[in-house]
Every structure is written in C-alpha cells, then in structure tokens.
Amino acid sequence: MHPVLVLVVQRIALGLLLLLAVSAVIFLGVEALPGDTAQAILGQQATPEALANLREKLGLNDPAITRYFRWLGGVLTGDLGTALTNGADIATSIGQRLGNTLFLAGCAAAISVPLAIILGLIAARYAGRWPDKLISGVTLTTISLPEFVAAYFVIYLLTQVFPVFQPVAMVFPGMSFWAKLQAVALPVIVLVVVVLAHMMRMTRAAILNVMQSAYIETAELKGLSPMTVIWRHAFPNAIAPVVAVVMLNMAYLVVGVVVVEVVFSYNALGQYLVDHVSKRDLPVVQAVGLIFAAVYITLNMLADVIGIISNPRLRHPK
C-alpha cells in the first residue's frame, strides 16, 4: 500500500477513536455538573413522588455506563433525543440552527482566508520593511482584543457613530441571500478581525522559512521577480502549515463563536447551547458539545490529510 494512503487511513482511524473518547468525556462532564435534572425541570416545589417518577421516566436511575451507551447508540442512528425543557426533537432544532452557524462561519472564512494569505504574502515579500511592520502591527493589535470587546466596539462604531447596520443579527427562514448577508455583516466583521491575524502571521512565517531553501535561491538567480518567486515557488511548498492554521481557524469559526452569537443575539448553535445550559437541559448540551467536537476533530483531521498529500517526499518516496 502506498505510504500516503497508509498515513491517511491512520489519521482517519485516529480521528474516529478520538471522537469516541471525546463523546465519553462530554457525557461524563455533563453528568458531573452539580444539581438535579428532575428538580431543574419540575422546580423547587415538586414533590418527592413527582421527582422520583420523572427520574424513572428519563432513565436517570440507570447506571451511567448504561445511559452512555444508550445515548451513543442513539447518536449513531441519528437520534439525539428530545429536549427536557420543551420536548422538542433535538436533531431538528440543531439542524435549523447549524445552518445559521455554518452560514456565518462560511461568510467569515470567505473573507478572512484569502485576505490573510494575501497579507501574509505581502508581509513576507517586504519582510522587515514598513509594509510588513504595518500589517504585523495592525494584526497584533486586533488579535489582542477579546471577542466581546471587538464585538461591542464594532457595534458602537457601525450602529452609533456610523449607523449603517442593525446591532442585532436576526435571520429567519425565507430570507433572501443578500438579506442574510446584510443581517450577519457585523458578526462577520468581528470574526474576520479575530481570526485574520493568526492565519496571516502563520502564512508569513511559513513562507519566510521556505525562502531559506536552495531552490528559492536558484529561482532568484534565474531573474524571476520576488513576488513570482514567493507565489510560484515558496507558497506551494509552505502550503501544509498554512492549511493547518486555516483549518484550526475554520474550526474556531464553527465551534468558538458562542460569545459572538450571544452578543449579536444570532439564532444559531452557540446561542442554542447557552440557552439550554442555563436550563440544565443535559441532552441538548451533550448533543451540541458532540457536534462541536466532531467539527473540530474533522477539520483538524482534514488538515492532517492535506498536509500528508501535499508533502512531495511522501507522494514520491525513494
């Protein structure tokens, strides 16, 4: 079997095992939360008999290992259970909100990824000169801002000083594509500001590292322009670390946007999770946590696979 195929299969198998381990950690972590689920549902005035009946109905009296495998079996068959607070099907509720999360993440990625790569190329081309210092200084400033600070600053600037957008990102079924874009403009700006610097600096560092290679010197001796050398010779050989950092930030755009979604009251998966954590709705917390973990692990696994495939030493072994 080809070495590349062996490594790809190993990465996929490792990702699946990691996801299984994470599912157990999520289940045990949620189980360890203080408080009584039945008490949270029925309230403080519930009688002991009513609490006992509800615990029996929900299977809370079963051993943890039994409840874990019952939950895992449901997940594997697409049954995420029902929310304890309102009896709604969790899979249906998550499906509606996951689309909003992916739309927000996709819009932010469509702007931040190419912009980060372009700025990284420019910074590498003028390393140590004023364009590099300007780009690095601005991006370091933005990456130092906490998400909520950046969000409130953008809200103040673009809704009060320059009243261009609405401070609340409201989307609903039936909206046109352009209406959705306008609705998510502010959270997209915040997410671009947050993730841009990391990708830009990694692109710059990867290209500068490759620029020390002998074949780059050969390309320069041929009389090629500096930007041509960077784009055609350095960047393709620096793609693995760039892809890795892009995938990490893509995972953040899906998993780590809870604060941004809450600030802008955006009806997506992060807001859904926060609402049900406060209600101690354990099945919802477990399901959303598992989806976030699956997205994060899948994107990191994809980054590993792309890094393996893009490595010429593995594609063409001696």
Q: What is the DSSP string of 9-27?
A: HHHHHHHHHHHHHHHHHHH
Distance of CA 30 to the CA centre of its chain: 21
Buried b (16+ CB within 10 A) or exposed e, 3-31: ebeebbeebeeebeeebeebbeebbeebe
92-103 residue pLDDT tens: 888 888 888 888
142 is a domain residue: yes
225-257 residue pLDDT tens: 888 888 877 887 777 788 888 888 888 888 877
d(CA 70, CA 61): 13
188 is a domain residue: yes
d(CA 136, CA 106): 25
- pLDDT exceeds 80 at position 310: no
Does an H or E element contain 118, and which? Answer: helix 90-125
**Nearest residue to 3 via CA among 306, 316, 240:** 316
263 is a domain residue: yes
CATH of the domain at 171: 1.10.3720.10
Please, are residues 200 and 132 in contact by the beta-carbon 8 Å criterion?
no
Q: How many domains does the chain have?
A: 1
288 is a domain residue: no
d(CA 126, CA 132): 6
54 is a domain residue: no
125-169 residue pLDDT tens: 888 888 888 998 888 888 788 888 888 888 888 888 888 888 888
d(CA 266, CA 253): 14
Buried b (16+ CB within 10 A) or exposed e, 199-217: bbbbbbbbbbebbeeeebe
Range of the domain at 186: 90-277
112 is a domain residue: yes
Beta bridge partners of 89: 82
Residue 115's pLDDT is what? 92
67 is a domain residue: no
Please, are residues 109 and 253 in contact by the beta-carbon 8 Å criterion?
yes
Question: What is the average pLDDT value for the chain, to the nearest integer?
Answer: 83
- pLDDT exceeds 70 at position 317: no
292 is a domain residue: no
Residue 43's pLDDT is what? 67
Please, are residues 187 and 270 in contact by the beta-carbon 8 Å criterion?
no
Highest mean pLDDT range out of 79-88, 106-115, 276-285? 106-115
8-state DSSP, 99: H
